[in-house]
Amino acid sequence: MRFLVVDDSSTMRRIIINTLNKLGHQEILEASNGREGMERLNASDVDMVITDWNMPEMSGIEFIRALRTVDKVKNLPVLMVTTNAAKDDIVEALRAGVNNYIVKPFTPDTFKEKIEAAIPK
């Protein structure tokens, strides 16, 4: 599987990539905000998107809304990794088109479980 990890924090991208590597995933693209994420999606084939919420230029929510309008990628599974975990946040993210939600701080086991749940059967 090829992943796109979108987060403005280089630390968080590295943590997510290390976690994906531990889970056996090696093909990973990176972007530091939603606008860059859209550019990567237009230029490459990706199987799953993992995105932060709060980012400059284009937030995670704006990014998900944008990708859901593009034929090539509109059905991609999208996981959101964020500290925004109040009930209202989750409702907003689900309405924007998130498939699953990972709350920071997280464990590798949680990550694995959420990825597996988001893979289309």
Q: Are 60 and 52 in contact (CB under 8 A)?
A: yes
SS3 69: coil
| CB 14 to other proteins: min, Å | 5
List of residues contacting other proteins (CB under 8 A): 9-12, 14-15, 18, 54, 56, 82-89, 103-107
| CB 106 to other proteins: min, Å | 7
Strand partners, 82: 103
| CB 89 to other proteins: min, Å | 7
- Rounded to an integer, what distance in angstroms lies between the CA atom of residue 2 and that of residue 7? 16
| CB 63 to other proteins: min, Å | 16
Which residue from 76, 82, 84, 89 is spatially nearest to 37, judged by alpha carbons? 76
CB closer to other proteins, 91 vs 117: 91
CB closer to other proteins, 22 vs 72: 22
CB closer to other proteins, 6 vs 76: 6
